[in-house]
Structure 1
């Protein structure tokens, strides 16, 4: 009673990706999430496309780089000095693959797509 029905929603606000759904997100994130969704949606060519493009400098790139930084910091905080090193050294060969991945996400994220 008194609520919106499908006939009272604004017309003309369609998405290239097809049908939409309602989600609950923190208000502080609403505009960023909507901006990201619109950026991704603008890159979709058809309703059948399920590929989410990696936009240079986008949310996923920043999120991934942030997770890598947080992982390194966690390892640094939990590092136990040994006879070879008193502090965490991420320039060693053991860290090569993570550094390569970090560089790929930072410089060429489009290579991670299909």
Structure 2
């Protein structure tokens, strides 16, 4: 099942040198795990609520592979270049399969309540 790494970042007005180093090196950490940028800092159109900052979305073959990438020595080496200089939140999440049915999910949730 496809999984995603989603980051909601709130970069400073002027990026520090470390952020550029991170950007230059992250793809090499993703390649061995099949990680692909799907969204990378494009402007967002906020239609509900508030969204300060930018969005990064990376696709992986599975949640286990996404976790392997995040825990890999190569990524751990560059992580402080971003995390110490750009505040934000990062999650790993499994996607829905092609047969996902939101009505069936509602029924299951209703039954569990």
Asked whether the two chains share a fold, i.e. TM above 0.5, the reply is no
- Under a length normalisation based on structure 2, what TM-score does the superposition of the two structures give? 0.26
**Quick check: which one's strand share is greater?**
2
Query: Per chain length, whose mean CA-contact separation is higher, i.e. which structure has more relative contact order (CA < 8 Å, sep 6+)?
Result: 2
Which protein is bigger by CA-based radius of gyration? 1
